[in-house]
Structure 1
Amino acid sequence: MFQNRTQAGRLLAEKLLKYQKANGIVLAIPRGGVPVGLEIARALNWPLELLLIKKLGHPQNKEYAIGAVGMQDRIVVPHEEVPESYIESETERARARLVEMQQKFMPNKQPEPIKDRVVIVVDDGIATGNTMLTSVKILRKQEPEAIIIAAPVASWSAVEKLSQEVDKLVLLDVPEEFIGVGRFYSDFAQLTDSDVINYIKMSNE
């Protein structure tokens, strides 16, 4: 059981210190991954940015991911019943939301390039791993040196799904029974946009 995301981030950072001298960047998944990512970025003295990727949901079930959209790239798993017009309109809508998030959380700053860098993708926990998996596939298109996924806790199914897709998976706990990420924290308070902005500011101090 972790006290909160900050404590979990500090414990996770200890397992990542060997990457300190690499040319790297921490990409935190908002909102819950940001305080965890902040502690890792501080320990490694790396920049902290947000992983701005939105899920592309099926038209009949938005929770069922058929792909993901990034600021420049996207991944789509073909489905015969999903028209191209839907994919294009959803991509446009998702990108507009990503631009909005970029301007809100990191105004006047373009995302740093990740080509030839070690990228650590951070979240406060990984349940299914589906969104993380599509995110990794989008990041691969930008040709980083390596992609490392770091999280305090993950399910076994997520570990099996992700371990073949990344260069390293760094976790503190993979419990036999996984019901939800929040069960592994004493304090799992919902974070606001203002919280995220404050964490980003702290990473630049």
Structure 2
Amino acid sequence: MRFRDREDAGQRLADLLDHYRGHSDVVVLALPRGGVPVARVVADRLEAPMDLLLVRKLGVPGREELAMGAIADGDIVLNQDVVRHVEPHEVERVIQREREELRRRNEAYGRTPLEVEGRTVIVVDDGLATGATMRASVQALAQRKPGKVVVAVPTAPEHTVDEFAEIVDEVVCVMTPKPFGSVGQAYKDFSQTTDGEVRRLLTR
């Protein structure tokens, strides 16, 4: 099974989250940029407000697709198994670059963060691989004292789903392919989401 695009993935994910529909304490947070089209569909179906949870993957220099960690709201999570193979000054350079990108995006989207304290927060991305980006997001979110945290994604490896089940209140995932290649393999159309599309979906 493959998703047609992120909107299709959002529809299938929303089917599994329908029990949250109409609950006044529910907030949907999207991981930009790819998680935003998925989350927009979920938020609309659940009749819930949507905001962003700004986060950036820390890619290994020269092999950027390989995550050595992530940064979200100033909270940095590093994968020590990967980081130990990278020079410390290179790690710091990547952290500084991604910190600047987070600042730029926050200004570009011109958003006012939603209040999440005591509320049920559904964190949505278009898929998980290593889970480093989502892990940083969840850790940063914990500082804002949500009442309940739900990680919701269209696709992920089974072992990653199991790992998140240990650190959040609920994990919802449409499919866990075996073997798991990449998030993009679950989509027929996995074209990049632009900043303009993020702004449009936020204000819709």
**One-letter code of the match for 1:156?**
E
**One-letter code of the match for 1:45?**
E
Q: In the aligned structure 2, how far is the partner of 1:12 from the partner of 1:160?
A: 18
**Residues 97-136 of structure 1: matches in 2 within 5 Å?**
97-105=101-109, 107=110, 109-136=111-138
Q: In the aligned structure 1, how far is the partner of 2:185 from the partner of 2:105?
A: 28
**Residues 1-205 of structure 1: matches in 2 within 5 Å?**
1-20=2-21, 21-56=23-58, 63-66=66-69, 68-71=70-73, 73-75=75-77, 93-105=97-109, 107=110, 109-202=111-204
- What stretches of structure 2 of length at least 5 have no aligned partner? none
**One-letter code of the match for 1:159?**
V
Is the 2:73–2:140 Cα contact (8 Å) retained in structure 1?
A: no
Task: Give the Å deviation of 1:53.
Answer: 1.9
Sequence identity, in percent? 36
Q: Give me the CA root mean square deviation.
A: 2.8
Assess, with a 3 A threshold, how the Cα gap between structure 1 residues 60 and 153 changes in structure 2: closer, same or farther.
closer
Assess, with a 3 A threshold, how the Cα gap between structure 1 residues 76 and 15 changes in structure 2: closer, same or farther.
same
Q: In the aligned structure 2, how far is the partner of 1:70 from the partner of 1:196?
A: 18
Is the 2:156–2:177 Cα contact (8 Å) retained in structure 1?
A: yes
User: Cα deviation per residue 1:42-85 (whole Å; 9 max; x = unaligned)?
Assistant: 0112111111023456789875535x43335455688899879x
Q: In the aligned structure 1, how far is the partner of 2:141 from the partner of 2:55?
A: 10
Look up the SS of the partner of 1:161 in the other structure. Answer: helix
Q: In the aligned structure 1, how far is the partner of 2:98 from the partner of 2:171?
A: 28
Assess, with a 3 A threshold, how the Cα gap between structure 1 residues 69 and 189 changes in structure 2: closer, same or farther.
closer
Q: In the aligned structure 2, how far is the partner of 1:153 from the partner of 1:61?
A: 23
Task: Give the Å deviation of 1:111.
Answer: 1.1
Is the 1:26–1:122 Cα contact (8 Å) retained in structure 2?
A: yes
| Equivalent residue pairs, number | 198
Q: In the aligned structure 1, how far is the partner of 2:60 from the partner of 2:187?
A: 32
Look up the SS of the partner of 1:54 in the other structure. Answer: strand
